[in-house]
């Protein structure tokens, strides 16, 4: 280990010139060129990641359920359309196998990467909003293995969470490697989520729309649409090259609407789907809360849930694994071979099993179980009412498909994306009109409760930290970093010793410093805590650095504030186009730069609009001194800002005016003359005098 780390650091340093060229290209490239290249890169990784996870899951399913458990679950049409084993040859082994696989996954997750716990999609959504550069690469690896173990041994989970987090993790890696701006980093991670899910489900259009829709409960991240289109298409092509291009559930027969009465049944399905979707979200998070209160080590909780799922599976085998093979059977006459009580009970049994498998800390997705829940809800409606309502027809597929769309589309708050994905997975668009009825009603029910299965979703763009900053402080987007940055107090060169840098940090009273290589290029940040672990004569090149995102000197303060908010440090290094260190920027530097920009803007307004805008200085003893703005300010005058010493105040009607305040005011010439007179005269009507 001691010889590997220096080699890795030397490799990173040798790649710095190439990294510098790449980051400079991405910083200066046009929108189309940049996202064509990044979209292709994210798509290739998403497709390959989906292939690796798919093969790992197939292997684990064969090993745990097939070899150890003596049971083979059914598969959908796109994966062979195997009908599955009709009975358990070793029923006693099923709970043990499910518990053992979950135990291995729990040990792996909580000892290596605890953030890989759960369904993954929530963590990726949270990263988009709060820390798009912060997904660790080890999380991706752990997620692949842990999810394959959990689902392959019989746990109730889906594929979308792992694949979404895998490709989102590589989007985050690209953001770090190429010094992408926070806005571009968010788009890269969002595109990774959509392309990963779209790849493994063979639904590139739905995946790309999902990247824009899944971030918010009631809004879209429209900037991610084109990058997600590119990434999802490439990911689908790559995945299909290995696993084939047939839709997951094959090409389901066409359905035609011949009368308005038919839509009534889809309205019923929509209402039931909304209610069951709410039950899914509330039941799942109730299990999460119960396991969090359980007095047991976190790594053993998934095993406890796995054993219970295995016991449930002895009576209802449809609760195990992804369940996609059972969805396939529910779309055909094979549905009649499943006992009616299982068809009716399965949506609720799946909710319980998913909470036990994933809510306990296991690793897997919740999209797939949501589709199983919806599918068997539609199947139950068809089985229960088909004998008494000939208008339902003899094919359960339309009701199964629409219920899948409505149930998970509503509770995921991504109805359009889920509609498109299920349509792509079933190879049919003829159910769009019935689906619109069902999905619309289900979404209406869910939105009335403000609930969602993805708790990291924000309500809308106004709640997003990045969008809120730009809306509230528009001058940030036009003020460059180079006008606000400061000279670094300490710079640690790679050839400096630990003793030298430590002394410089102590003398300057700072906790860390940027590190540069022999060419002055930025490498990372070293902290006092890092240095304390090394001998004084050790050179800085042998000390591991912290990866702190740099700012470019030509970028603007909106990007700087966005990066500072998502960074663990209170300051950031500033680099030029060749990645050479030129300064640092802290919160105080940013505030000072914004204040200067605001003052400059107000003075320019004074010059340009002198007839309708004026700066007035309040004299001591004037009628305005000590009064609120809504009091003695003449009618028709608007005070836009108050400059009080070094501070710029955004006034309200209750703001108290003090002597010496510089009032930036708008109004007619006559009104401004009255304000000038009030600010310049004393309370007794005499002009204030200076001197004895």
Mean pLDDT value across residues 384-391: 82
**pLDDT tens-digit readout, 40-52:** 999 999 999 999 9
User: Nearest CA to 515 among 549, 541, 489?
Assistant: 541
pLDDT at 682: 66
pLDDT at 18: 76
Residue 502, H or E segment? helix 498-508
Residues in the chain: 692
On the question of pLDDT at 558 being above 50, the answer is: yes
Cβ atoms < 10 Å from Cβ of 504: 16
Ramachandran angles phi, psi of 655, nearest 5°: -65, 130
471 pLDDT band, cuts 50/70/90, is low
Which region among 317-326, 341-350, 427-436, 644-653 has the lowest average model confidence (pLDDT)?
Answer: 644-653
**pLDDT tens-digit readout, 634-691:** 877 888 788 887 777 778 777 888 888 888 887 777 888 888 888 887 655 544 443 3
Adjacency order of strands within the sheet including 551-552: 551-552, 571-575, 581-586
On the question of pLDDT at 15 being above 80, the answer is: no
Asked if 421 contacts 294 with a C-beta cutoff of 8 angstroms, the reply is: no
CATH number 3.20.20.70 is the correct assignment for the domain at 609-680: no
More confident site: 240 or 564 = 240
Residue 338, CA distances (Å) to 78, 80, 195, 379 in order: 22, 20, 35, 11
Mean pLDDT value across residues 211-240: 93
Three-state secondary structure of 189-238: HHHHHHHHHHHHCCCHHHHHHHHHHCCECCCCCHHHHHHHHHHHHHHHHH
User: Nearest CA to 531 among 551, 502, 506, 511?
Assistant: 502
* C-alpha to C-alpha distance for 186 and 172, rounded to whole angstroms: 8
Asked if 104 contacts 86 with a C-beta cutoff of 8 angstroms, the reply is: no
Mean pLDDT value across residues 331-343: 92
On the question of pLDDT at 608 being above 50, the answer is: no
**pLDDT tens-digit readout, 150-187:** 999 999 999 888 888 889 999 999 988 888 888 889 99
* C-alpha to C-alpha distance for 692 and 676, rounded to whole angstroms: 24
On the question of pLDDT at 504 being above 80, the answer is: yes
Q: What is the longest distance spanned by two Cα atoms in the chain?
A: 108
On the question of pLDDT at 13 being above 80, the answer is: no
Residue spans of alpha helices (H) in 62-217: 93-112, 121-130, 137-152, 160-177, 182-200, 204-213
What would the two tokens of residue 486 be? 């400061």
* C-alpha to C-alpha distance for 423 and 198, rounded to whole angstroms: 12
Give the residue extent of every domain in the chain. 19-462, 473-591, 609-680
Mean pLDDT value across residues 59-69: 94
Contacts of 292 (CB under 8 A, 6+ apart): none
Q: Write the DSSP symbol of residue 544.
A: -
Sequence-separated contacts (24+) of 591-594 with Cβ below 8 Å: 592/484, 593/479, 593/483, 593/484, 593/557, 594/473, 594/475, 594/476, 594/479, 594/484, 594/557
CATH class for the domain made up of 473-591: alpha beta
* C-alpha to C-alpha distance for 289 and 286, rounded to whole angstroms: 5
- Three-class secondary structure of residue 599 per DSSP: helix
On the question of pLDDT at 692 being above 60, the answer is: no
pLDDT at 420: 95
* C-alpha to C-alpha distance for 98 and 106, rounded to whole angstroms: 12
More confident site: 62 or 86 = 62
Which region among 201-215, 254-268, 499-513 has the lowest average model confidence (pLDDT)?
Answer: 254-268
pLDDT at 121: 85
480 pLDDT band, cuts 50/70/90, is confident
pLDDT at 633: 79
pLDDT at 9: 57
- Three-class secondary structure of residue 527 per DSSP: strand
On the question of pLDDT at 378 being above 90, the answer is: yes
pLDDT at 70: 92
On the question of pLDDT at 20 being above 60, the answer is: yes
> Number of helices (H) and strands (E), helices first, in the chain?
25, 10
- For 19-462, the fitting CATH number among 3.40.50.450, 1.10.3080.10, 1.10.10.10, 2.40.50.100 is 1.10.3080.10
Q: Name the pTM for this structure.
A: 0.80
On the question of pLDDT at 617 being above 80, the answer is: yes
Mean pLDDT value across residues 344-362: 95
* C-alpha to C-alpha distance for 267 and 439, rounded to whole angstroms: 9
601 pLDDT band, cuts 50/70/90, is low
pLDDT at 611: 54
Adjacency order of strands within the sheet including 662-666: 613-617, 662-666, 638-644, 647-649
pLDDT at 602: 62
On the question of pLDDT at 469 being above 90, the answer is: no
On the question of pLDDT at 98 being above 60, the answer is: yes
């Amino acid at each position: 280990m001691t010889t590997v780390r220096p080699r890795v650091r030397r490799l990173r340093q040798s790649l710095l010139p190439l990294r510098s060229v790449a980051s400079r290209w991405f910083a200066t490239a046009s929108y189309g060129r940049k996202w064509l290249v990044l979209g292709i890169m994210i798509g290739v990784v998403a497709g390959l990641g989906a292939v690796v996870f798919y093969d790992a899951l197939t292997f684990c399913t064969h090993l745990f359920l097939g070899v150890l458990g003596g049971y083979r679950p059914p598969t959908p049409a796109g994966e062979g359309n195997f009908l599955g084993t009709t009975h358990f040859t070793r029923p006693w082994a099923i709970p043990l196998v499910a518990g053992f696989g979950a135990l291995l996954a729990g040990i792996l997750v909580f000892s290596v990467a605890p953030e890989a716990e759960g369904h993954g999609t929530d963590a990726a959504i949270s990263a988009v909003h709060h820390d798009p550069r912060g997904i660790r690469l080890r999380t991706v690896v752990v997620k692949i293995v842990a999810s394959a173990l959990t689902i392959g041994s019989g746990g109730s989970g889906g594929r979308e969470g792992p694949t979404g987090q895998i490709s989102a993790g590589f989007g985050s890696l690209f953001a770090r490697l190429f010094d992408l701006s926070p806005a571009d980093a968010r788009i890269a991670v969002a595109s990774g989520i959509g392309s990963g899910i779209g790849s493994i489900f063979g639904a590139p259009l739905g995946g790309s729309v999902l990247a824009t829709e899944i971030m918010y409960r009631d809004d879209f991240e429209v900037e991610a649409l084109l990058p997600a289109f590119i990434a999802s298409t490439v990911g689908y092509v790559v995945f299909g090259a290995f696993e084939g291009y047939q839709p997951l559930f094959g090409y389901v027969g066409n359905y035609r609407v011949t009368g308005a009465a038919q839509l009534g049944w889809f309205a019923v399905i929509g209402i039931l789907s909304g209610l069951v979707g709410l039950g899914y979200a509330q039941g799942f998070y109730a299990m999460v809360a119960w396991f969090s209160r359980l007095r047991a080590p976190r790594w053993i909780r998934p095993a406890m849930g796995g054993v219970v799922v295995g016991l449930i599976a002895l009576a209802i085998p449809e609760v195990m694994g992804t369940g996609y093979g059972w969805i396939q059977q529910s779309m055909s006459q094979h549905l009649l071979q499943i006992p009616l009580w299982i068809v009716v009970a399965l949506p609720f049994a799946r909710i319980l099993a998913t909470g036990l498998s994933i809510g306990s800390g296991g690793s897997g997705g919740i999209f797939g179980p949501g589709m199983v829940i919806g599918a068997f809800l539609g199947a139950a409606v068809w089985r229960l009412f088909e004998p008494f309502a000939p208008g339902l027809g003899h094919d359960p597929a339309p009701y199964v498909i629409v219920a899948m769309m409505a149930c998970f589309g509503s509770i995921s708050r991504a109805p359009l994306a889920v509609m498109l994905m299920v349509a792509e997975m079933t190879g049919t668009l003829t159910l769009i009109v019935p689906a619109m009825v069902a999905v619309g009603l289900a979404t209406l029910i869910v939105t009335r409760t403000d609930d969602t299965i993805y708790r990291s979703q924000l309500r809308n763009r106004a709640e997003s930290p990045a969008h809120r900053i730009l809306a509230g402080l528009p001058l940030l987007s036009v003020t460059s970093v180079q006008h606000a940055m400061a000279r670094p107090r300490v710079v640690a060169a790679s050839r400096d010793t630990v003793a030298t840098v430590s002394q410089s940090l102590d003398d300057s009273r700072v906790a860390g410093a940027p590190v540069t290589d022999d060419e002055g290029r930025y490498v990372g940040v070293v902290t006092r805590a890092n240095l304390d672990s090394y001998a004084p004569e050790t050179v800085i090149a042998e000390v591991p650095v912290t990866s702190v995102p740099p700012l470019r000197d030509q970028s603007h303060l909106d990007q700087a504030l966005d990066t500072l908010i998502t960074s663990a440090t209170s300051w950031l290094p500033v680099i030029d186009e060749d990645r050479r260190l030129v300064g640092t920027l802290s919160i105080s530097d940013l505030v000072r730069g914004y204040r200067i920009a605001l003052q400059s803007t107000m003075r320019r307004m004074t010059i340009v609009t002198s007839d309708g805008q004026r700066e007035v200085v309040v004299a001591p003893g004037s009628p305005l001194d000590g009064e609120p703005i809504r009091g003695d300010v003449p009618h028709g005058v608007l005070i836009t800002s108050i400059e009080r010493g070094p501070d710029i105040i955004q006034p309200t009607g209750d703001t108290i005016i003090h002597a010496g305040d510089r009032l930036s005011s708008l109004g007619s010439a006559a009104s401004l003359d009255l304000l000038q007179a009030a600010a310049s005269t004393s309370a007794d009507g005499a002009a204030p005098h200076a001197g004895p």
